[in-house]
Structure formats: structure tokens, C-alpha cells
Amino acid sequence: MKSLANCKPTEFLKQTNRIRKAVEKWLDLTDIAKIAATRPKLTPFRKDMTEEEKLELFAENKKIAEEQTRDNMNRILEEVMDKHADETLVILGLCCFVEPDEIDDHSVSEYLEVLTELIENRAVLNFFTSLMRLEQTNSLSASQA
């Protein structure tokens, strides 16, 4: 199956632009950047704490942070795999040069194999990393306006 990981450079440029537009809409719909930015409420260290108390508090804060990370991930998965599954599949399809109305013409195993290829491909990862940075920059600019 053709994908961003094995296409021609000209195909890569054109298709990543299509994906960029779909991801922009998808990020607005899912609000995953906001979910991922949700931080835990940690207990601050006090100056009068003993080393033992600091170690206990550190362990408690670590547990709270891990729980928040797990909660964030579950909320993100709920958004992308349930509430906005169709939009998520459009992006996956576009990564495989599959048009939205042809998504179900391919098996889950085909998509999973391609997903592994995409994750292992440096150029593809750089593209998606750039998209996320752009979204974070846009979000930051919007919040400062």
C-alpha cells in the first residue's frame, strides 16, 4: 500500500499539504492539544520538610503526574477513536493515499502495517512533529491576542 513512507517526493509534498489541512480541522475538533496540556495539581515542597518527607512527597507527586498522563491519554483516545473516529480515519487514509470515501476498502491490518512504517520513517515523523509545533505556536499566538 502506498503511503507517505514510500511515495515519490512530489507525491509527498502534495499529500502532506492535504493532510495538513485535515489535521488542522481535526485538532480543532478533538482539542487534543488542550487535553495534552492539562497538568496535574502537585503539592509543592515546603522549606521545613525533612528529606524523608520530601521523598514521600516526590513519590506522591510522581503518582499524581502519572495518573494525569494516563487520564489525558484516555481522554485523547476517546476524542480521536470514538467521538471523531471518522475524521481520524480520513487522516490515516490520506497518509496511505486513500480517499475518504474508500477508507473501508482496506483492512485494518493494512492500515496497521502502514502505521508502523509511518512511525519508523524519519521524514514522516518530522512532518507530523512540525504540524504539532505549528499548532502549538498558533494556539499560543491566539491565547496572547
At 61-104, the pLDDT tens digits run: 999 999 999 999 999 999 999 999 999 999 999 999 999 999 99
Residue with cell 492539544: 33
Q: Dihedral, CA atoms, 22, 23, 25, 27, nearest 10 degrees?
A: 160
Count the domains in the chain.
Answer: 1
Domain that holds residue 89: 9-144
For residue 82, what pLDDT is reported? Answer: 96
Q: Is residue 54, in this structure, part of any structural domain at all?
A: yes
pLDDT for 16 equals: 92
In a domain, 4, yes or no: no
Residue 69: inside a domain, yes or no?
A: yes
C-alpha cell at 15: 499529500
1 is a domain residue = no
What SS3 class is residue 8?
coil
Per-residue pLDDT at 140 exceeds 80: no
Whether residue 3 is contained in a domain is answered as: no
> Is residue 134's pLDDT more than 90?
no
| pTM of the complete model | 0.77
